[in-house]
Amino acid sequence: MSDTAHIAIQKRDSLTSFNDFGLAEPILRALAEEKYETPTPIQSQTIPIACQGRDVIGIAQTGTGKTAAFALPILNRLYAKRQRPAQKACRVLVLSPTRELSGQIADSFRAYGRHLRPLEIALAIGGVSIRPQARALARGVEVLVATPGRLLDLVNQRSLRLDQIEVLVLDEADRMLDMGFIHDIRRIVAMLPRERQTLFFSATMPPEVTKLSAHMLRDPARVAVTPQATTAERVDQRVILTEKAAKPALLAELLNAEPIDRVLVFTRTKHGADKVVRLLNKAGLAADAIHGNKSQGQRERALAAFRDGRIRTLIATDIAARGIDVDGVSHVVNYDLPNVPESYVHRIGRTARAGRAGIAISFCDHEERPFLRDIERLIRMSIPSTDRRSTQRPAHRPAAQHPGQRQQHGRPNHRGNRPPRRHGGSNGQHAALAPHPHGRPPERERGEPSGLGNVKFLQRSPGPRRSAGPGTAN
Binding site for ligand AMP (CB under 6 A): 36, 38-40, 43, 62-68, 325, 327, 353-354, 466-467
**Beta carbon of residue 161, minimum distance to ligand AMP (angstroms, whole number):** 29
**Beta carbon of residue 318, minimum distance to ligand AMP (angstroms, whole number):** 17
Specify the residue, 355 or 420, whose C-beta has the smaller distance to ligand AMP.
Answer: 355
Specify the residue, 161 or 307, whose C-beta has the smaller distance to ligand AMP.
Answer: 307
Specify the residue, 180 or 462, whose C-beta has the smaller distance to ligand AMP.
Answer: 462
**Beta carbon of residue 145, minimum distance to ligand AMP (angstroms, whole number):** 13
Specify the residue, 30 or 395, whose C-beta has the smaller distance to ligand AMP.
Answer: 30
Specify the residue, 43 or 133, whose C-beta has the smaller distance to ligand AMP.
Answer: 43
Specify the residue, 59 or 383, whose C-beta has the smaller distance to ligand AMP.
Answer: 59
**Beta carbon of residue 248, minimum distance to ligand AMP (angstroms, whole number):** 31
Q: How far is CA 345 from CA 86, 284, 338, 415, in A?
A: 41, 31, 10, 28
Q: What is the CA radius of gyration of the chain?
A: 23
Specify the residue, 36 or 344, whose C-beta has the smaller distance to ligand AMP.
Answer: 36
CA distance 359 to 457: 8
**Beta carbon of residue 467, minimum distance to ligand AMP (angstroms, whole number):** 4
Give the angle subtended at the CA of 200 by the CAs of 49 and 16, to the nearest 5°.
Answer: 35
**Beta carbon of residue 21, minimum distance to ligand AMP (angstroms, whole number):** 12
Specify the residue, 171 or 258, whose C-beta has the smaller distance to ligand AMP.
Answer: 171
For 293-300, the CB contacts below 8 A with 24+ separation are 294/320, 295/127, 296/99, 296/127, 296/128, 299/99, 299/100
**Beta carbon of residue 102, minimum distance to ligand AMP (angstroms, whole number):** 12
Asked if 376 and 260 touch (Cβ cutoff 8 Å), the reply is: no
**Beta carbon of residue 323, minimum distance to ligand AMP (angstroms, whole number):** 8
- Select from 134, 153, 146, 143 the least CA-distant residue to 88: 134
